[in-house]
Structure 1
């Protein structure tokens, strides 16, 4: 049997949870019919980490417990890039701003100019790392995706204003958490939804993070409990 040679890209996905204590809803959109990866499926905003994401300064970092979980079984120094990618993809695909008011200094990368024009800097303190999944072998594209949960109260501006969104996702909408499974969802999204449902009333980061690891030998559900990052002198 020939081993799968599809390159695996690191990716970040954002689950925005609205009205979590009253009538929880999540933000989702539909991928295009001609998309190479998960065509027609309803998904959370997200995408691959870009080469320049590691160089974008954050106004505030991820919570330390999330940094520790992300550090486990992952390349060194990837945590910042994952957080930046999550914020960038949320902006590009929905037009929603996860950041704090502030001005940028120096040259602003092209991918961030429209975000910077809103008068905000990306901030990661509200992102919570809640799930990780590796796309199974044999798919046209493979991602090592980290899923981040964020409360909609942390979003700047109008939660129903998608006018700045790209056309990558159509039918952007807030879907009641109780009704999400009526939509055409990828298998892994259904698995993540179960995790989100268990965290609706708990605003703190999880003690450990599920990791759905798929390789040529097996599909495994692991738990990421985190390794403290080494101190820098």
Structure 2
């Protein structure tokens, strides 16, 4: 089974908390596991207009495995899925609304907003191992909550959607790859890191799933 492109957005608040939700028991893939907002890439994600471009370092990182158009579409999917699942829009205001025929983006653009791709950073890629019921080629992006607008509300995809501290997240049920990604972010944002400390990533996760990782930064523009 060929992995399907997917994207997740790790939203960090005050450098101490991240937004996570519990996947419903109705899901075939990863039920009852805590995850970051995200999902599969839609065809329209690479076709709709996007006036704000990805930072050059992000474009370079993505170009290692995908074309520029596909990379932009993956980043757009992270923003769209986050909005659909949480009600938060990583966006900038525009003088006049953009127009699109894409049903997944029409209501987003009707708000007079555009995806703030310039405020995301790409830091990890993971591929679901073979012999799973679903396989995804997932890219993980990170952004600061201060750049998001809207009110937190779920659409049913994620239950118990809430801000969780890095310490409390240790006690939540989640897959190894999710915990590994969380550890990468936590280690990078630790305000008082212990010298020599490295992210706690299980060896089997590195060998089987985490195929790419980069420094975690929070764009402040």
TM-score, normalised to structure 1, is 0.79
Q: Return the offset for 1:15.
A: 0.2
Partner residue, 1:121 = 114
Pairs within 5 Å for 1:27-46: 27-46=19-38
Q: Return the offset for 1:192.
A: 0.5
The structure that is helix-richer by fraction is 2
Pairs within 5 Å for 1:55-204: 55-75=47-67, 77-102=69-94, 103-157=96-150, 161-163=151-153, 165-200=154-189
> Greater shift after overlay, 38-47 or 56-65?
56-65
Aligned pair partner of 2:8 in 3, 13, 21: 13
* Structure 1 Cα separation of the partners of residues 212 and 114 of structure 2: 32
In structure 2, stretches of 5+ residues that fail to align are 192-201, 215-221
Partner residue, 1:205 = none
* Structure 1 Cα separation of the partners of residues 68 and 110 of structure 2: 31
In structure 1, stretches of 5+ residues that fail to align are 1-5, 203-211, 226-233
Q: Return the offset for 1:142.
A: 0.5
* Structure 2 Cα separation of the partners of residues 111 and 99 of structure 1: 15
User: CA RMSD, aligned part only?
Assistant: 2.1
Q: Return the offset for 1:8.
A: 1.1
* Structure 2 Cα separation of the partners of residues 46 and 197 of structure 1: 19
Q: Return the offset for 1:107.
A: 3.6
Aligned residues: 200
Q: Deviations over 1:86-107 (max 9, x none)?
A: 1100100000011111233444
Q: Return the offset for 1:28.
A: 0.4
* Structure 1 Cα separation of the partners of residues 183 and 122 of structure 2: 15
* Structure 1 Cα separation of the partners of residues 89 and 77 of structure 2: 13
